[in-house]
Structure 1
Amino acid sequence: MARFIASEPFWNLFPQAEIGIVVARGLENHADKVKDRSAIAADLESALNESRKFLSGETLSQCPVVAVWRDAFKLFKTKKGARSSIEALLKRVEKGKGLGSVNPLVDIYNAVSLTWGFPVGGEDLDAFRGDLRLDVSAGGDPFLALGDEAEEPTLPGEVCYRDDAGAVCRCWNWRDGQRTMLTEDTVNAFLVIESVAPERREDLRRALEMLAEKARRRLGGTCRIVVADRENRSVSLE
């Protein structure tokens, strides 16, 4: 039985973190077969507009939903220039750039990320090798990033998601790998929303509910929500 496990070294760095998980099964993610494709596009456009509420007069790095992740990334080894996924999305908004469609499920989770100001990601459950772990790497975990042609392994002391075959997402939520990425052929998915701000606990719950509801309504299948924290660090992915 595959599990998600957040390791003790991770909790030593981030004792108040919460990892919100949606286990989605039986999805239809082919763009040409999704009946609500226009609704997904409309949701993403609406989220782009709504996300401007996070952009105040300060520089992007000082916006609260970004600054909390800037601080978090200082606590572990990162690739030079690595930033949280929510910062990357909001940077596009700040520059007036849109988000091109990737596939229905990715478009759905990007809309949730922009609406709530959390990093949101997803992986193909069926591509995992053994358990998925959120861990502090000893270095050398194999990793081929989206869009790259050469592998670049994890660094010693880097927080990453990894399984028995190597890294799945580097620098916590910075870059996904090709091996486990969501595609139109994805049927079962691991979706994750991360929080390092305890005062946003209720926002995290509401974001998880939105993610599960949108995935279920737009793509069919079933969704199960669970939150991992220091007291509940191992979660079944069945």
Structure 2
Amino acid sequence: MSKFIIEEGFWELFPQAEIAVILVKGIDNTEESAEPVRSDILQLLENANKNANQFILKEPISENEVIAVWREAFKKFKTKKSARCSIEALLKRIQKGKEVGCINPLVDLYNSVSLNYGLPCGGEDINTFAGDLRLTIAEGGESFLALGDEQYDDALAGEVVYKDDEGAVCRCWNWRDGQRTMLTEDTTDAFLIIESVDPARSGDLAAAARDLAELSCRFLGGSSRIEHLNIDHKEISL
């Protein structure tokens, strides 16, 4: 059985980080199956787009606390120029009056949780992983084809990445996901992740994880398991 491992190089940079993993298995993520509840999922996403305004109270957007903590975090490792945390990308859309739209049922659910809590959320298809998944410091050159891209843009040495034996899974910690492991309508087993670098938000992280686990099973079936990782608990089985 494969594992998710957060390696020592990461903890040297972020000893106070906390990461919630939600493993959902046996789900049906097809639009056909979700059709009876699609309007409910879209309503959740619509409400979350509105709720997200609570996190955008200052100008410039980088002055808002849920973004400022990630701006500081991204200064601690090598990043692609202009790379930003995923929650900043979502909140910038809200600030510009562009709602975060529909992608597929499971992605819509984790985006709604991300917007409701002001925390970065992501997801990957477990069955696409090559060996163990690791959150670590890139050696440089890990193969990566981002969502929406046609050319590979490999990881930089010193970059925080999620990677497996085949290459990078998500670059610059939570900036961009790759095509190889993305959630699709064919996904039946998913690795969902919520991240925090602010110890004061432990309660929010736990609540967000519970919400995402519950919503995933309610709308897509299957089962869920929540794991909380920190410097004292660095790996789990998948």
Q: By how many angstroms is 1:150 displaced?
A: 1.0
Q: Which residue of 1 aligns with 2:124?
A: 123
Q: Which residue of 2 aligns with 1:22?
A: 22
What is the distance in 2 between the residues matched to 1:18 and 1:133?
15
Q: Which residue of 2 aligns with 1:8?
A: 8
Letter in 1 for 2:37: D
Where 1:168 maps in the other structure, the secondary structure is strand
Q: Which residue of 2 aligns with 1:213?
A: 214
Query: After superposition, what is the alpha-carbon deviation per residue over 1:133-178, rounded to whole angstroms, capped at 9, x for unaligned?
Result: 0000110100000111111110010000000000000000000000
Q: Deviating runs (4+, > 3 A) in structure 1?
A: none
Matched, 1:49 2:50: yes
What is the distance in 2 between the residues matched to 1:57 and 1:9?
34
Query: After superposition, what is the alpha-carbon deviation per residue over 1:31-64, rounded to whole angstroms, capped at 9, x for unaligned?
Result: 1211311100000000000010001133111100
Q: Which residue of 2 aligns with 1:179?
A: 180
Q: Percent identity?
A: 56
Where 2:143 maps in the other structure, the secondary structure is coil
Letter in 2 for 1:199: A
The correspondence of residues 1-238 of structure 1 with structure 2, limited to 5 A, is: 1-34=1-34, 35-237=36-238
Unaligned 5+ runs, structure 2: none
What is the distance in 1 between the residues matched to 2:121 and 2:2?
21
| TM-score normalised over the length of structure 1 | 0.99
| TM-score normalised over the length of structure 2 | 0.99
Query: After superposition, what is the alpha-carbon deviation per residue over 1:85-124, rounded to whole angstroms, capped at 9, x for unaligned?
Result: 0000000000000122110000000000000000000000
What is the distance in 1 between the residues matched to 2:32 and 2:42?
13
What is the distance in 2 between the residues matched to 1:168 and 1:100?
23
Deviates more, 1:152-161 or 1:30-39: 30-39
What is the distance in 2 between the residues matched to 1:193 and 1:136?
19
What is the distance in 2 between the residues matched to 1:127 and 1:76?
27
Q: By how many angstroms is 1:7 displaced?
A: 0.4
Where 1:223 maps in the other structure, the secondary structure is strand
Unaligned 5+ runs, structure 1: none
What is the distance in 2 between the residues matched to 1:22 and 1:128?
16
RMSD: 0.6
Letter in 2 for 1:25: K
